[in-house]
Amino acid sequence: MLERELIRQLTVELTRIKSIVGTPGEIRVAEKIYDFLKGLDYYAKHSDYLMLSDLKEDALGRKNVIALLKGEKGNSRRTVILIGHIDTVGVEDYGNIREYATDPERLKAVLRQKELDEDTLKDLESGDWLFGRGIFDMKAGVATHMALMKKLSENAGQLEGNVVFLAVPDEEGNSSGMLSAVDELVRLAESHDLEYMAAVDTDYMAPRFPGDDRKYIYIGTVGKILPCFYIYGKETHVGQAFEGLDANLLAAEILKEVDLAFDLCDVVENEASIPPISLSQRDLKSRYSVQTVNEAYLYFNYSTHSSQPDEVLAKLKAKAERAFKSVLDKLNDEYRRYCRAAGMPYRELPWEVQVLTFEELYAAVRAEKGHSIDEYLKKLKEELLREKPDDRIYSLQVVRELHRQWSNKNPAVILFFAPPYYPHIYVKGENEKERKLLAAVNEAVAGADARFPYRFEIKKFYPYISDLSYFSVSEKVEAISALVNNMPGWNEIYSLPIESIKKLNVPVVNIGPYGKDAHKFTERVNISYSFEVMPEILERTVKLLLEG
């Protein structure tokens, strides 16, 4: 069994280092972890197996911590990756007590001065919880990996197989730590002849609903894609309202069709992905005038369990076409009634449904302008990159300017993708590695179920976006093509090491500490489960994965 007090000690020490995403604190916590591993006897003998690896093109100079531990029992290639992130969200939500946000001991006392809900107050007084920013998401998980590396390294002679420890920054941001690590993991496997069996994360695990007392282990992870809609209407004077098409009206109808639409959920093995939800909706009119809105824009957080980018594109194009038709029907109906009341002749409005993907828009413009459009877009992108806009705004501007080059000025909806993209991983048991992971987790959980008074449940998809997504990606050419060809910023502002991810191609599991209120000022981790039960399930799972 792993040392409970060591895990607790490391958890508190890591939490004390304020490592907010996008700050130098991410470097300090990486150095702390590196120094701990460097102090182990194993790495005194194998210093070349431990490294601080620079993130690619990172202005802050942040680093991944990577450590290889080779078992000395037999000569097995089997290797398990232990993955965890070392950054946190900010501390602004702590208000006037934010100076204590990363000091678990002092924070507990200060929190007593706050008005807390009954559940939080009960946990605060129980003595079985530790509070602090990042203590739950996910310093406790990283601390457990560190304790496991210590124990395994001290018993390398009895260890069959190998372990790679990976601690990454920027998970709460753009996953640049993990995306830099992918190539490093591939190189490590090639240079040491490793066969990766699975990636094991220890990110947080929380109740799914009020009163939920189950403890979850997740084999697989949810995915995320960011579909965007650029809406081009037809401007008119407000006094001649029916001579135009209000882009806001069309945007609103798309929102109605897509936002929280259950039919867009992926339902897999009695688990449903969260339905799409809007993250932004706005018109692009820059100042007041009595001209109607001609351009609008909205995008959605779209979770996946099984749908690939090409399938998402097809579903949303159908939704947009339905919304467009609904708006045209409404306009004609309202215009008919208006004409009757105003004593005017009615004529059906001339607009038609027109929904294109970015790829289709590009093809249409290129058919008109030839290679000159490529040169135009190249210069446009260079100008945008100098301005360093948000990735979503960059993508919108490319779509907007491309559309301006098109001769067709009828109302239209352009559907495209913006960063980021997180592939889902669905572990079905279709190959040997997936079957071995499923069997190992089931056996480890069964052992814990016999020893501890908790209700365990194994589920298929870790429900929170995480770096686990980058251990595998769809092999479908059409799926990847749909992503790449419909993301205007691909290779300029965003890309994924797709070929390296395909080389990793391992199933994933999250065996996390138990706690509550991640990203809230009442963030806390449960001591009993997280420092005793979870570590036992983790250690047993890793050893079972490494067995022949």
What CATH number corresponds to the domain at position 456? Answer: 3.40.630.10
Q: Are residues 250 and 108 in the same domain?
A: no
Which residues, in sequence order, are bridge partners of residue 299? 228, 280
Q: Are residues 231 and 333 in the same domain?
A: yes
Q: Are residues 148 and 34 in the same domain?
A: yes
* Structural domain contains residue 483: no
Which pLDDT score, from 0 to 100, does residue 151 have?
97
Which pLDDT score, from 0 to 100, does residue 452 have?
97
CB contact at 8 A, 310 and 236: no
Residue ending a domain, among 420, 440, 455, is: 420
Q: Decide: helix, strand or coil at residue 177.
A: helix
Mean pLDDT of 346-363: 97
Domains of the chain: total: 2
- Can you tell me which residue has the tokens 């799914």? 208
Q: Are residues 359 and 456 in the same domain?
A: no
Residue ending a domain, among 420, 441, 462, is: 420
Q: Are residues 428 and 415 in the same domain?
A: no
* Structural domain contains residue 495: no
- Which residues, 6 or more positions from 252, have their beta carbon under 8 angstroms from its beta carbon? none
Q: What is the CATH number of the domain that holds 416?
A: 3.30.70.360
Q: Are residues 227 and 368 in the same domain?
A: yes
Which pLDDT score, from 0 to 100, does residue 123 have?
96
| One-letter amino acid of 146 | M
CB contact at 8 A, 489 and 395: yes
- Which tokens belong to 216? 């979850």
Exposure of 213 in the CB half-sphere (CA atoms within 13 A): 4
Which residues, in sequence order, are bridge partners of residue 271? 268
Using only C-alpha atoms, what is the Rg of the chain?
26
* Structural domain contains residue 501: no
| Bond before 51 cis per omega within 30 degrees | no
Domain that holds residue 292: 223-420
Mean pLDDT of 346-370: 97
Burial 448-482 (b: 16+ CB within 10 A, else e): beeeeeeebeebbbbbbbbbbbbbbbbeeeebbeb
Distance CA 288, CA 454 (A): 60
Q: Are residues 188 and 290 in the same domain?
A: no
- Which tokens belong to 134? 């990042």
Residue 489 per-residue DSSP state: T
* Structural domain contains residue 46: yes
Residue ending a domain, among 403, 420, 437, is: 420
In which band, very low, low, confident or very high, does the pLDDT at 149 lie, cut at 50, 70 and 90? very high
Q: Name the nearest CA neighbour of 527 among 215, 136, 146, 120.
A: 136
* Structural domain contains residue 331: yes
CB contact at 8 A, 237 and 290: yes
Which pLDDT score, from 0 to 100, does residue 165 have?
98
User: Which stretches does DSSP call E strand in 77-194?
Assistant: 78-85, 129-131, 162-168
* Structural domain contains residue 492: no
Q: Name the nearest CA neighbour of 173 among 92, 91, 88, 102.
A: 88
Q: Are residues 202 and 242 in the same domain?
A: no
In which band, very low, low, confident or very high, does the pLDDT at 1 lie, cut at 50, 70 and 90? low
- Which tokens belong to 492? 């300029």
Distance CA 261, CA 160 (A): 48
- Can you give the length of the chain in residues? 548
| Bond before 420 cis per omega within 30 degrees | yes
Report the chain's terminal Cα–Cα distance, integer Å.
22
Q: Is the pLDDT of residue 113 over 90?
A: no
Chain segment 297-335, per-residue pLDDT in tens? 999 999 999 999 999 999 999 999 999 999 999 999 999
Chain segment 401-429, per-residue pLDDT in tens? 999 999 999 999 999 999 999 999 999 99
* Cα separation values, 105 from 22, 25, 522, 525, Å: 26, 20, 14, 13
Distance CA 319, CA 250 (A): 12
Burial 285-314 (b: 16+ CB within 10 A, else e): beeeeeebbbbbbbbbebbbbebbbbbbbe
* Structural domain contains residue 500: no
* Cα separation values, 118 from 97, 115, 418, Å: 20, 10, 41
Q: Is the pLDDT of residue 187 over 80?
A: yes
Which residues, in sequence order, are bridge partners of residue 70? 162
Q: Are residues 253 and 196 in the same domain?
A: no
Q: Decide: helix, strand or coil at residue 384.
A: helix
* Cα separation values, 534 from 1, 7, 513, Å: 11, 11, 6
Q: Are residues 166 and 284 in the same domain?
A: no
Residue 62 per-residue DSSP state: -
Mean pLDDT of 71-90: 96
Report the chain's mean pLDDT, rounded to a whole number: 96
* Structural domain contains residue 498: no
In which band, very low, low, confident or very high, does the pLDDT at 261 lie, cut at 50, 70 and 90? very high
Q: Is the pTM of this model over 0.85?
A: yes
Q: Are residues 399 and 429 in the same domain?
A: no
Q: Are residues 235 and 216 in the same domain?
A: no
Report angle CA 423, 272, 497 to the nearest 5 degrees.
0
Distance CA 35, CA 16 (A): 16
Q: Which helix (H) or strand (E) holds 200?
A: strand 195-201
Distance CA 174, CA 181 (A): 13
Distance CA 486, CA 488 (A): 6
